[in-house]
Amino acid sequence: MNHSKVSAAIISILLGSATHSVIAADEQVADENIEKIAIVGSRVAGRSAEDLPVPVDILSAEALANTGQTEVGRMLQSIAPSFNFSSSAVSDGTDALRPATLRGLGPDQTLVLINGKRRHQASLIHINTSVGRGTAGTDMNAIPAAAIKRIEVLRDGAAAQYGSDAIAGVINIVLKDASEGGKAAVSYGEYSEGDGESVNVDLSKGFALGDNGYLNTTLNIRDRSPTNRAGLHGSCQYSGCTELSDGSYLAGDSREVTADRSTFRIGDADSQQMGLAINTGYELGDGELYGFITYSSRDNESAAFFRHNANAGGNAQLQDGDATIPEGFLPKINTEIKDISYNFGYKTEFDNDSSLDLSYTYGKNNIDYTTSNTINSSYANSLQYTSTLSADEIRASVPRDAFAYGLELSLQTINLDFTQDFDLFSLAMGTEIRTDEFKVLAGEEYSYRDYDTDELGNSLFATDRSAGTQGFGGTAPMQSVDESRSVISFYLDVETEITEDLIVSGALRYDDYDGFGDSTNFKLAGNWAITEDIAIRGAMSTGFRAPSMQQLYTDNISTQFISDPNGGDQIAVQIGTFRNDSDLAKAIGIPELKEEKSKNYSLGSIIHLTDDITLTLDLYSIEIDDRIVLSNSLGQGLSSALDNALTASGAGAGQFFLNGADTETKGADIIATWNTDAFGGDLDLTFAANFTETDVVDTFTPPNSALGSISPDLIFSEQAISIIEEWQPQDRINLSALYTIGDVKVNLAFNRFGEYTVLDGERQTYSAEILTDLRINYQATEHLSFNIGANNLFDVYPDKNEIGNSRSGTIVDGNGNTIVSSTGVFTYSRRSAPFGFNGAYYYLGAEYTF
């Protein structure tokens, strides 16, 4: 493969400037040796993005680098307004693996590809109260950004073309394939508060494999320190406080005066990651043997809720009248994420304008949880009844950490794709065979065991304390999982030029799952160039999303903090998430999950206002039926059958995955670009905007079950509806400018995050904010460049949090002096923060190319 000729075949069709640069093959090149590049959305090689009947943004490596971000998720959020990468805090595994969404839908409703091959999901499912609750997405940060040649974002339903999950669209990450050259880059940055220090190192190199192949390698090392924007702990940490007439509290323990009030850690997790990517291809016979490997290892440490001295349930009181850990403790959740994938295949072209591509892809995501700086309160409680140890000896002997559990999800895929170009149309057909496997590995006994109750849940002692490791409890062997599922798919894709100005395409796909059954979907689309400067494009399709393995088989009991219905601090509740085929679910008649079904409609236009100014507008509507949701936490008193089942499980409340809602999403994408000369240099301007609104149009309960008599409002709560409808900005607007003059490049971007609303006991609407990013790059020599910049230059924060807070209050001493006065530890919403709440980030870096 001649990569210099390949590069000559690629032109930039500016659906965006350096921010939204679109790469496509030049259809006018006659040299038969020049490779035609295919992009996501069409299986006909050589189509330009403007010819496609659906919108596709192709984001170059330079555009990604100009954001100044080091994580792929944040890069995409900075330059693709339809993409959201929401932050939350004190939300268990979600702190380490953020939910990524497209067009305001769920993380699992966007399909991710690597080099056009289906990417496996992360093994984590978001079960806490955050954006994406009840869903499992793809770990966008497992791919080193320096290994990426471009990212293609297909903003349209594409399940008929690519299979399950592609309801919102498709993100295709294309790895670098250069056979020579490379770079070494390093950057350092920190937030204006002086924390969150980050060091990022990239090494990449392309190698020629003789005259017929290439091997491109990338190594990334990233070290990020935690951030903390927690407020002060304003409630009493020790017993004996007395409430005064003005609502403040009089300290009843002398230690209250000197107690640490910075007890929480709320912000980005401490994170260290190593990532590796290898992409290779070699001409063999009449075709090419190709493959890739990606690997990442990431260690995260986030924090849970602080357990103070007076928390007798989580910090057991011993016989000397004091807590197990007298000064209290902040449990830490240590998350080790390992992600590996590899692919190999062979593709060949025949003399009759046909081609064949056979490939195998394997991917696996592992997450191991260890809870540290914790205790099992029931263990400490049992020791004082079953041993002769003194209180201090018990304190010294209580273990402070334990392995909680492990998650593993793997995906094996075999693809066979055939294409044939005829005089009147192009045909593509193929088959895909997939095997999904999901495992949950049990934790250490100390992490989950209840030491002060018997097998029937009866208390063994005069006092009864919380079981499992505080902050993040473990999974028992009876809740371990080892399940697999097979899928076989067939597709047919036809595309034709009815006239020189009209392209029409159609796709039909059949998928058969050995779980819920089969699904058949279609897509019709077209692009009509009315004039040389105006084109209209549109599509209609059906789609589906099969229940994820995590939704089918997740089964655990965890401590979740929810708003107290009577007001005050958030309260801890032991909530069980029960799989639909469990004895408990069967006992109350919970039905098995079935697929989500969607209908997608889109209509758009491409307008060349001048040779330098291009405008695209795309409208879309997405209807989803039988959307899979995680129910509300259902406690005692709703149904006798449910009461009995919960009592037997040992959980105070239970939640289940259900096909429980129908939704409608409507929106618009606008992109305008202007490329011109200015002040002796080149100026590329891009305006990009997304407007999205999702409505839950119906909720329903499973018929003929113990839940059938319960109001849907209790099964699928107002908060659950709010998460889908309101927790992400309904509009995102980006205005960016790339100015190049001589050896200097300046990238200035304004990102507007629209209003969003969070319901957490009460409802709060957070104002729209504009963040300013600035990056300056100086090419010092032919090979050496330096950059300096800031993300969120003017230190913008979201509105202060007014709802769902915890540990608020005012405490005074015996002389009336204020010890502490705080509105709570959650200064900013821990539930949803579209751009985080860390403030300004300043960085500098250097890059050497060779």
Task: Grade residue 38 by pLDDT with cuts at 50, 70 and 90.
Answer: low
The reported pLDDT for the residue numbered 46 is 62
The reported pLDDT for the residue numbered 475 is 92
Residue partners of 350: CB distance under 8 A and separation at least 6: 286, 356
Whether residue 20 contacts residue 686, with contact meaning beta carbons closer than 8 Å, is answered with yes
Residue partners of 299: CB distance under 8 A and separation at least 6: 271, 272, 273, 334, 335, 336, 337
Task: Grade residue 649 by pLDDT with cuts at 50, 70 and 90.
Answer: low
pLDDT > 70 in the chain, percent: 92
Checking if the pLDDT of 560 tops 60, the result is no
Cα distances from 13 to residues 27, 47, 83, 538, 613, in angstroms, run: 12, 11, 22, 20, 11
Among the ranges given (410-414, 566-570, 844-848), the one the predictor scored with the smallest mean pLDDT: 566-570
Task: For residue 177, give the nearest of 348, 360, 23 by alpha carbon.
Answer: 23
Checking if the pLDDT of 9 tops 70, the result is no
Q: Which domains does the chain have, with CATH numbers?
A: 3-230+265-306+325-798+833-849 (2.40.170.20)
Task: For residue 326, give the nearest of 227, 395, 280, 246 by alpha carbon.
Answer: 395
**Average pLDDT over every residue of 94-115:** 95
Checking if the pLDDT of 239 tops 50, the result is yes
Q: What is the pLDDT of residues 505-534, one digit of tens each?
A: 999 999 999 977 899 999 999 999 999 999
Task: Grade residue 121 by pLDDT with cuts at 50, 70 and 90.
Answer: very high
Beta-bridge partner residues of 510: 490, 520
Burial 290-317 (b: 16+ CB within 10 A, else e): bbbbbbbbbbbbbbbbbbbbbbbbbbbb
Checking if the pLDDT of 32 tops 70, the result is no
Alpha helix (H) residue ranges in 727-760: none
Whether residue 521 contacts residue 160, with contact meaning beta carbons closer than 8 Å, is answered with yes
Cα atoms in the 13 Å half-sphere on the side-chain side of 603: 2
Q: What is the pLDDT of residues 292-345, one digit of tens each?
A: 999 999 999 999 999 999 999 999 999 999 999 999 999 999 999 999 999 999
Q: What is the pLDDT of residues 679-694, one digit of tens each?
A: 899 999 999 999 999 9
d(Cα 606, Cα 40) in Å, to the nearest integer? 18
Task: Grade residue 589 by pLDDT with cuts at 50, 70 and 90.
Answer: confident
Q: What is the pLDDT of residues 381-425, one digit of tens each?
A: 999 999 999 999 999 999 999 999 999 999 999 999 999 999 999
Structure token pair of residue 567: 């007001």
Q: Tell me, what amino acid is at 66?
A: N
Question: What one-character DSSP code corresponds to residue 587?
Answer: H
Query: Which residue did the predictor score with more confidence, 557 or 585?
Result: 585
Beta-bridge partner residues of 250: 242, 812
The DSSP annotation for 622-683 comes to EEEEEEEEEPP-B-TTS-HHHHHHHHHHT-SEEEEEEEEEEEEEEEEEEEEEEEEEETTEEE
The reported pLDDT for the residue numbered 49 is 75
Q: Which helix (H) or strand (E) holds 415?
A: strand 402-421
The reported pLDDT for the residue numbered 24 is 32
pTM of the prediction?
Answer: 0.92
d(Cα 267, Cα 231) in Å, to the nearest integer? 11
The DSSP annotation for 79-118 comes to H-TTEEE-B-SS-GGGGTS--EEETTS-GGGEEEEETTEE
Whether residue 550 contacts residue 125, with contact meaning beta carbons closer than 8 Å, is answered with yes
Q: Tell me, what amino acid is at 270?
A: D
Alpha helix (H) residue ranges in 335-479: 377-386, 391-397, 445-448
**Average pLDDT over every residue of 126-144:** 93
Q: What is the pLDDT of residues 787-797, one digit of tens each?
A: 999 999 999 99
> Considering Cα of 438, then 96, then 801, then 732, what sign does the dihedral take?
negative
The reported pLDDT for the residue numbered 478 is 86
d(Cα 225, Cα 838) in Å, to the nearest integer? 12
Task: Grade residue 641 by pLDDT with cuts at 50, 70 and 90.
Answer: confident
d(Cα 385, Cα 395) in Å, to the nearest integer? 14
Task: For residue 651, give the nearest of 403, 479, 804 by alpha carbon.
Answer: 479
Checking if the pLDDT of 1 tops 60, the result is no
